[in-house]
Chains A and B, each alone.
Chain A
Amino acid sequence: MDAALAPPPAAVEPITLVEATRRAVAQEMRRDASVWVLGEDVARGGIFGQYRGLIEEFGPERIVSTPISEATIMGAGLGAALVGTRPIIEMRIFDFALCAMDELVNQIAKIRYMFGGQAKPAVVIRAPHGLWRSSAAQHSQSLETWFAHLPGVVVAVPATPADAAGLLVAAIRSDDPVLFFDPKALFAATGPVPSAIDPLPFGVARHEQWGDDLTLVCWSSIVPDCVRAAEALARDGVGVDLIDLRTLWPWDEAAVLASAARTRRLLVVHEAVRAGGFGGEILARVVERLGPGALKAARRLGAPRLPVPFSPPLEDAMRVTEAKILAAAKSLLAA
Chain B
Amino acid sequence: MEASTEHAIARLTELYRLMARIRAFEEVALAAHAAGELPGYLHPSIGQEAVAAGVCSVLRRDDRITSTHRGHGHALAKGAAVRGMMRELFGRAGGVCRGKGGSMHIADFSVGMLGANGVVAGGIPIAVGAAQGLRLLGCDAIVACFFGDGAINRGPFLEGLNWAALYRLPVLFVCEDNAVAAFTAACSVTAGPGAVARAESCGVAAESVDGNDVEAVAEAAARLVARVRRGDGPHLLHARTYRLLGHTSTDQAAWRDPAEVAAAKGRDPIARARQRLLAAGVAETVLDAILAEARAEMEAARADALAAPWPDAAEAWEDVQDIGAETMEQA
Chain A residues proximal to chain B, CB less than 8 Å: 34, 36, 61-62, 64, 66-67, 69, 71-72, 74-85, 87, 102-103, 106-107, 111-120, 151-154, 174-177, 202-203, 249-250
A86 smallest CB distance to B (angstroms):
10
- Give the nearest-CB partner of B106 in chain A: A115
Q: CA of A207 to CA of B119 in the docked complex: distance in angstroms?
A: 43
Q: CA of A116 to CA of B110 in the docked complex: distance in angstroms?
A: 13
Q: CA of A106 to CA of B116 in the docked complex: distance in angstroms?
A: 13
Contacts of B124 in A (CB 8 A): 72, 75
Given the known A-B contacts A114-B97, A115-B100, A154-B321, are A80 and B129 also in contact in the complex, defined by CB atoms under 8 Å? yes
CB of B128 within 8 Å of the partner chain: yes
- For chain B, give the interface size range: 35 or more
Q: CA of A81 to CA of B110 in the docked complex: distance in angstroms?
A: 15
CB of B263 within 8 Å of the partner chain: no
Judging by beta carbons under 8 Å apart, are A80 and B133 in contact? yes
Contacts of B131 in A (CB 8 A): 79
- Give the nearest-CB partner of B169 in chain A: A76
CB of B150 within 8 Å of the partner chain: no
Interchain residue pairs with CB less than 8 A apart (30)? A34-B136, A64-B132, A69-B163, A72-B124, A72-B159, A75-B126, A75-B156, A76-B163, A78-B129, A79-B114, A79-B125, A79-B126, A81-B129, A81-B133, A83-B139, A85-B137, A87-B129, A106-B119, A107-B119, A113-B319, A114-B115, A115-B101, A115-B109, A117-B319, A118-B97, A119-B109, A151-B320, A152-B320, A153-B321, A202-B323
Contacts of B95 in A (CB 8 A): 116
Chain B residues proximal to chain A, CB less than 8 Å: 64, 66, 95-101, 105, 107-110, 114-115, 117-119, 122, 124-137, 139, 143, 155-156, 159-160, 162-163, 166-167, 318-324
Contacts of A81 in B (CB 8 A): 129, 133
Judging by beta carbons under 8 Å apart, are A84 and B133 in contact? yes
Q: CA of A220 to CA of B12 in the docked complex: distance in angstroms?
A: 62
Judging by beta carbons under 8 Å apart, are A72 and B156 in contact? yes
Q: CA of A322 to CA of B35 in the docked complex: distance in angstroms?
A: 66
User: Given A67-B166, A75-B122, A202-B323, list of 13 further CB < 8 A pairs?
Assistant: A34-B136, A62-B136, A74-B125, A76-B163, A80-B130, A80-B132, A82-B133, A83-B137, A84-B133, A85-B136, A85-B137, A116-B96, A116-B98
Q: Which of B105, B127, B318 lies in contact with A114, CB distance below 8 A? A: B105
Q: Which of A61, A66, A154 lies in contact with B163, CB distance below 8 A? A: A66
- Give the nearest-CB partner of B135 in chain A: A61
Q: CA of A292 to CA of B266 in the docked complex: distance in angstroms?
A: 72
Given the known A-B contacts A76-B128, A76-B132, are A118 and B137 also in contact in the complex, defined by CB atoms under 8 Å? no
Judging by beta carbons under 8 Å apart, are B323 and A154 in contact? yes
Nearest 10 interchain pairs by C-beta: A75-B125, A79-B129, A76-B129, A250-B324, A80-B133, A116-B98, A116-B97, A79-B130, A79-B126, A117-B319
Given the known A-B contacts A67-B162, A116-B100, are A174 and B322 also in contact in the complex, defined by CB atoms under 8 Å? yes
B173 smallest CB distance to A (angstroms):
13
Q: CA of A120 to CA of B100 in the docked complex: distance in angstroms?
A: 15
Interface centre among B109, B122, B132, B143 (most CB of A within 10 A): B132
Contacts of A85 in B (CB 8 A): 133, 136-137
Judging by beta carbons under 8 Å apart, are B320 and A113 in contact? yes
Judging by beta carbons under 8 Å apart, are B321 and A76 in contact? no
A67 smallest CB distance to B (angstroms):
6
Q: Which of A107, A119, A202 lies in contact with B122, CB distance below 8 A? A: A107
Judging by beta carbons under 8 Å apart, are B321 and A71 in contact? no
Judging by beta carbons under 8 Å apart, are A106 and B105 in contact? no
Q: Which of A83, A106, A174, A250 lies in contact with B130, CB distance below 8 A? A: A83
- Give the nearest-CB partner of B166 in chain A: A67
Q: CA of A75 to CA of B164 in the docked complex: distance in angstroms?
A: 13
Judging by beta carbons under 8 Å apart, are B134 and A83 in contact? yes
Given the known A-B contacts A69-B162, A154-B323, A176-B322, are A117 and B98 also in contact in the complex, defined by CB atoms under 8 Å? yes
Judging by beta carbons under 8 Å apart, are B160 and A72 in contact? yes
A203 smallest CB distance to B (angstroms):
6
